[in-house]
């Protein structure tokens, strides 16, 4: 995991187009050190790494991309006890980046925390209504919870709002069963 994160960070550094908000070189180095510290924590203490990254809010674009990538990887790796710790510490997810929040919803669904999955997917559906994937995953989450009427309504919404999408085909399958 650390090797994947490190190689991605290098890729992001090399491919920065320079059109992002600037900070002083000293501040950039300080923020970069925070990201390196989070990588160090990520192996043994993903919750500590998440708390550290969450505490920094929005960063200059290149560092923000790196932070979001690390967060999404950490959310992919945490298990149910770690999710419980995240909830216990009250880490806010209101400003989580779109893809990190989606990863968290996927993980929550995989470990049976459908309430967290529905909360995140509902947020994504409302914030990014043009993305049928979020609606589709929300409908599947309803289905896993045996909330069949909610699932049916959401699958129908996919069919009417995104009739040419692959998610409409998936909705056809679910509605036929």
pLDDT, greater one: 94 or 171? 171
For range 66-71, the mean pLDDT: 74
pLDDT for the residue numbered 51: 74
The answer on pLDDT for 47 being more than 80 is no
Exposure b/e, 59-98, CB count within 10 A at least 16 = b:
bebbbbbbbbbbbbbbbeebeeebbebbeeeeeebeebbe
Cα 12 versus chain centre, distance: 19
- Say if CB 83 and CB 114 are below 8 A apart: no
The answer on pLDDT for 7 being more than 50 is no
DSSP 149: H
pLDDT for the residue numbered 39: 76
């Amino acid at each position: 995991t650390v090797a994947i994160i490190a190689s991605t960070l290098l890729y992001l550094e090399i491919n920065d187009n320079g059109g992002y908000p600037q900070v002083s070189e000293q501040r950039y180095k300080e923020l970069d050190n925070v990201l390196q510290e989070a990588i160090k924590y990520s192996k043994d203490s993903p919750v500590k790494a998440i708390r550290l990254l969450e505490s920094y809010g929005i960063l200059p674009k290149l560092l923000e991309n790196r932070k979001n990538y690390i967060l999404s990887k950490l959310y992919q790796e945490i298990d149910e006890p770690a999710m419980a710790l995240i909830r216990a510490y009250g880490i806010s997810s209101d400003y989580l980046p779109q893809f990190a929040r989606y990863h968290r919803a996927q993980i929550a669904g995989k470990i049976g925390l459908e309430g967290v999955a529905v909360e995140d997917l509902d947020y994504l559906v409302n914030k990014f209504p043009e993305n049928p994937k979020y609606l589709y995953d929300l409908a599947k989450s309803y289905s896993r919870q045996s909330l069949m009427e909610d699932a049916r309504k959401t699958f129908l919404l996919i069919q009417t709002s995104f009739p040419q999408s692959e998610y409409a085909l998936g909705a056809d399958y679910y509605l036929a069963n």
